[in-house]
Amino acid sequence: MVDITSDSAVSGDILKQLRVEKGGRRVLGSLDERSKALTILQDSDCSTKITAGGSVANTLVGISRLSKASRRKKIHVALSSSCSTDAIGQYFSASLNNAGVAVLPSEDVGHTGTVFVLASPDGQRSFLSYFQSEHMKVSTSLRVAVSQCRLVVVEGYMWEMPGAAEAITEVVAIAKAHGVQVAMTAGDPGVVARNRDKILQVLNLGGRDILFFSNQEEACELLGKGRVCGANTAILGLGSLCGVAVVTDGSRGSFVSCMGQVHTIPAAEVPTGVVDTCGAGDAYAAGFCYAIMTGHDCASAGAFASSTAAQVIARHGAQLLESEAQELVELLPETLPLAVSATWLSKSAAA
């Protein structure tokens, strides 16, 4: 996905014109609708910038930049995507390559997907998404990449694509057969509500090899408790389903369950105040995955992830910057903590 992000706050009147609720997401059904949305923003004098995005791309760029900034062994990062050869697709591939993320070969899919990211004055974000309608399938390059990597990240928004359940199940099965850890993100509460049974089936397949990221509302939806069960209840429920579970709860911090042991992680301070929450969860996942892959325990990974997310929400833009990555890696001690008796961690940290 390529993100078209508002550089300034978007008013409620503009959101009404775009027919999207504040904090919600609407799917655009055609290129014509996408053009009309862009025209509305231009006519309202709302400046935008284009970045190679999508939730999983944001996370992978973050991991790559943290690895580049560190003196530790380099982590090689790649993305499998439906990236077209159109102008936007070429821009996407070049941007990811420049950020140290290789883009695996894909068939031409016509038009590369886009997401309008619209920030309200209070930092809340709303989305207009244009997805590809092609049936999702696992390519040969993806099968090989999954079998040879240490960690595969599965984006929650993919559940909305045709064929996603079969493709994600296949990826998790390949990973499990080769001793590869799997990290999954929830997407948003609506995605979870519409695909709850499918997600639970994959979690049951992956079991203790799964690292699952969600916020409080997404976790409660997955557990069948609506959206108001509370983060404490959510982390206990998720912790019973997978080896490592993370529930973020905004300014209240986050909870990490690692092989049944729950850690409470305070929210990192944002001295300048929250500007744009878009990309917060992606950055948290990047920080957590990077810390785990460099041998740190769950509590340390959670604290580092919180600091990573704090960098992103202090400004507009969803991706971790190189300068921010350089500051962050100084927070991780060079001397690793003693290994804990967790199969997930020992496997993930293995070379």
Q: Average pLDDT in the 199-210 region?
A: 92
Structure tokens at 130: 């244009």
| pLDDT score of 345 | 47
| pLDDT score of 107 | 63
CA nearest 6: which of 325, 318, 349, 220? 318
| pLDDT score of 245 | 97
Any idea which residue has 């409660």 for tokens?
A: 220
| pLDDT score of 339 | 42
| pLDDT score of 90 | 87
Tell me the whole-structure pTM to 2 decimals: 0.84
Model confidence over 22-35: pLDDT tens digits?
988 888 888 899 88
Spatial contact of 348 and 340, defined as CB atoms under 8 Å apart: no
Q: Is 159 exposed, middle or buried (0-12, 13-18, 19+ CB in 10 A)?
A: buried
| DSSP E strand boundaries for 221-295 | 244-248, 254-258, 261-265
Higher confidence at residue 186 or residue 88? 186
Q: Has residue 344 got a pLDDT over 50?
A: no
- Give the distance between the most distant pair of CA atoms in the chain: 58
Model confidence over 218-257: pLDDT tens digits?
999 999 998 778 888 999 999 999 999 999 999 999 999 9
CA nearest 245: which of 257, 231, 232, 233? 257
Residues in the chain: 351
Mean pLDDT of the chain: 88
Which residues are 261's β-sheet partners?
258
What are the structural domains of the chain? 55-111+133-348 (3.40.1190.20)
Q: Average pLDDT in the 157-169 region?
A: 90
CA nearest 233: which of 251, 213, 255, 212? 255
Structure tokens at 12: 């409620």
| pLDDT score of 351 | 27
Any idea which residue has 């078209």 for tokens?
A: 4
State what percent of residues in the chain have pLDDT above 90: 57
Q: Has residue 347 got a pLDDT over 60?
A: no
Cα 215 from chain centre: 11
| pLDDT score of 132 | 66
